[in-house]
Each structure stands twice: as structure tokens, then as C-alpha cells.
Amino acid sequence: MPVREKDDFLVFGSPLVGEEEIAEVEQSLRSGWLGTGPKVARFEKDFAAYAGGEHAAACNSCTAALHLALVALNLKPGDEVITTPLTFCASVNAIIHAGATPVLADVDPVSGNIDPERVREKITDRTRAILPVHYAGRACDMDAVMAIAREHGLRVVEDCAHAIETTYKGRHVGTIGDFGCFSFYVTKNVITGEGGMVLAREQENIARIKVLGLHGMSADAWKRFGDEGYKHYMVVEAGFKYNMMDIQAAIGIHQLARVEENLVRRNEIWAAYDKAFANLPLTLPAPEEPDTRHGRHLYTILVDEDACGVKRDVMLERMTREGIGVGVHYLSIPEHPYYRERFGWNLEDTPEAVRMGRQTLSLPLSAKLADRDVDDVVRAVKHCLGAE
Ligand SMILES: *Cc1c(COP(=O)(O)O)cnc(C)c1O
């Protein structure tokens, strides 16, 4: 008998959506103002206030946010941006679409975050920027990353898709480099369905990103249909269509209001997993680094076949059969044929990311999980390992 029946499948990453979000979306629909408008402006303001007084630009995904931040760096063909091989493909694609060449620096085998020593080894006279990813919600070693950036005159774009609540030495990540990019995709810690946000240290960078994100039209072109009279817009560069809608911001405003409450719940679930799995032959997430706060986005276990007697991919199948949705974050970037063919990357160049990518498995961690769901996940893991 599976832990959960098919009609009771526990969906991985299913978000907690409250009545406030539903009412606010309904209000947007009834108002007739669906597109970019006052709710997006409010969400930007709320998000900037939450993360610590930065300038913010909402957009329709973190992928768009990363692309805009990298375009704003004015990269030229042949310029190199160093990033991690243990990330979602969007981090690398954004570098490519901004016209630069991605370069991979391997991760630390304990944290799963980019290893500053490996970054140093990859620096050439073409290096222009570093794109660290705060993997699973764990802060990267930003002092080391920023020191390298200062030494070599590099820009830093932080991929904070997992890390809305994450802090490093008292500061929210995403406010340490030149840009921080956040995701509100359905499985993330704060959701708008699809959505993203750029934080920038400099107001002029955010102004440019807002222009680039709306066709390259001059500032506040979304107001052209408002009640202040029609305003002509001027196209000042070839931009993109990356703006967030008020319908999305309507969800985000109320999600953000509960962000800390949801983190408290995910901390409980995290602690329950740590306790339940302590004596299993799995590698559990390491404790967070001193003077950081972990954003608790992904609870990742490493399934080493030699220790567990089961391959990770078999474990994925077994968990699914037990009625528990699981994820993989991530098969490392060089495993994908496109990158290998285009950039000639070998798996041996980033062995830690390759190993982790082949062993890692993410368990449900949504604040929506009831205690019974958490118990089911624990029982399923034990079943699949033959431990109970
Ligand atoms: C989810 C994710 C993205 C992309 O976010 P979207 O909002 O879906 O575009 C980028 N980087 C990482 C590390 C992610 O997990």
C-alpha cells in the first residue's frame, strides 16, 4: 500500500494561497485595470521595504529580471559572466541572451553554492560579472564574492529565486551585489503565478530596467491610458515585454504580507525532516552558515547509491509511487546537451555540481503542508530506503 493513494497525491511545491489574494484579484478584475498599474507600484514599494530600502522593478518572471539586469550591464560579445553549474537553466540562458559567454565555477560540496576559490580560478581579462545563486535559500559567501568583484572590477547580479527571506550578515541577499533578481513562480516562497523582481543599488539602474522591460518606451508609459490625459511615449531603446500585471501584483501583495509567517511554518517542517532523517544513510542539508538566515526554499537530500543501496532516480520513482511529489534541483548545467555542444563543457570540470545534481532530491516544503502531510513524506522516505 502506498503512503498516499493516487487521488490524494501530494503535489510538490503547491503554494499556500489565502482569501486576501482571491479578493484582491477579484477586485482587479472588477476594476477593469488588469495590466501594469497601481498594484504593481505598491508591490514594488512593499518588496523594496521588506528587503531593505532598495529600488525595485517588478517584471513577469525572474528569468526576465535576470535578462534585464544583465542587459543593463552593457555586455559585449566575448564578455564572460561566471556562474554556478548547480542552478536552473534560466540563470545561464539569461547570460547568453544578454550577449555574453557563461563560465561555470564549481560549487562547494557542502553548501551547494558557488565556491569563491573556483570563481577566482575562472577569471580572465574578459570576465565582466559574477552571477551567484543562493541555492535552496542558503546565502552565498557574499564577502568573498564581493571582494573578488572589487579586486577585478566586476559587477555582481544575485540570483535570489530561492532566497526572498535569506539574509547575510543582517542584510537581505539581493541588496549586496549591483542587482538582485527574485522569482514569484508558483513553487517559490512568494508567488504571483508568474512574476519576478529586480532590486538595484542605484536608482538610475532601476529606471533603465523599467524602460527596457516595457518595450524601451520612455518612463511610465503604462500611464498613457490613465485619467491624466493621453501621453505620447518615446521609444529610447529596443526593449522587451517583461512587465508585471496588476492581477499578478494583487496576489503578490498579500503573499508578501505573510512571508515571515510562512517561513516559520517551513522552519518547523525543516526541523521535523532533520529529526526524522537523522539516522538514515542520506546526506541532509548542512546547518546554515553563522550570521546568515536560510530562506528554506528547498529541503534537498543527497541519495548516494553506495550508502543508500538505491539510485536517486529509483528513489524519485518510488516516492512518486508512494504518492509524494518530489523535485530535482538540479541536474547540473553541463549535463544538458545544448551547453555541452556550444561551450564544450566537460562533466569533469565541475565534479561537485555533477555529483550533487545526480544525487539530489527535493522534498515538499510548502507552508501549505499539514502535519499529516509531513508525516507522510517522512514515512515515504523511510519506505523507499527500506528503513521501515
Ligand atoms: C525559478 C528559478 C529561476 C527562474 O524564475 P522564473 O520566475 O520561473 O523565471 C531562475 N533561477 C533559479 C535559481 C530558479 O530557481
- Residue that has been written with the C-alpha cell 534541483 in this structure: 329
- Report pLDDT for 387: 85
- Residue that has been written with the C-alpha cell 534537498 in this structure: 300
- Together in a domain, 348 and 247: no
- Together in a domain, 42 and 30: yes
- Together in a domain, 331 and 249: no
pLDDT tens digits, 244-277 = 999 999 999 999 999 999 999 999 999 999 999 9
- Together in a domain, 10 and 27: no
- Together in a domain, 216 and 272: no
Residue 216 belongs to domain spanning = 19-257
- Together in a domain, 172 and 205: yes
pLDDT tens digits, 32-89 = 999 999 999 999 999 999 999 779 999 999 999 999 999 999 999 999 999 999 999 9
Rounded Cα distance, 51 and 168, in Å: 12
Give a yes or no: residue 1 inside a domain: no
The answer to whether the beta carbons of residues 85 and 355 sit under 8 Å apart is no
- Together in a domain, 225 and 273: no
Rounded Cα distance, 63 and 206, in Å: 16
Ligand 1 pocket, residue 318 CB under 6 Å: no
Q: Which one of 91, 131, 183 would you pick to mutate in the ligand 1 pocket, going by the greatest count of ligand atoms within 8 A of its CB?
A: 183
Which of 183, 138, 156 lies closest to 299 in space, CA to CA? 138
- Together in a domain, 136 and 36: yes
Q: Output phi, psi for 327, to 5 deg.
A: -135, 170
- Report pLDDT for 220: 66
Ligand 1 pocket, residue 183 CB under 6 Å: yes
Give a yes or no: residue 72 inside a domain: yes
Q: Three-class SS string for 339-382?
A: HHHHHCCCHHHCHHHHHHHHHEEEECCCCCCCHHHHHHHHHHHH
Q: Which residues of the chain have pLDDT under 50?
A: none
From 222, 257, 292, give the residue that closes a domain: 257
- Report pLDDT for 248: 98
- Together in a domain, 218 and 109: yes
The answer to whether the beta carbons of residues 82 and 130 sit under 8 Å apart is yes
Ligand 1 pocket, residue 162 CB under 6 Å: yes
Total Cβ atoms within 10 A of residue 264: 10
- Report pLDDT for 222: 67
Q: How many A from CA of 13 to the centre of ligand 1? A: 14
- Together in a domain, 317 and 223: no
- Report pLDDT for 330: 97
**Domain containing 279 — which CATH number?**
3.90.1150.10
- The number of the ligand 1 atom at minimal distance from the alpha carbon of 65 is 9
Question: How many distinct structural domains can be found in the chain?
Answer: 2
Ligand 1 pocket, residue 133 CB under 6 Å: yes
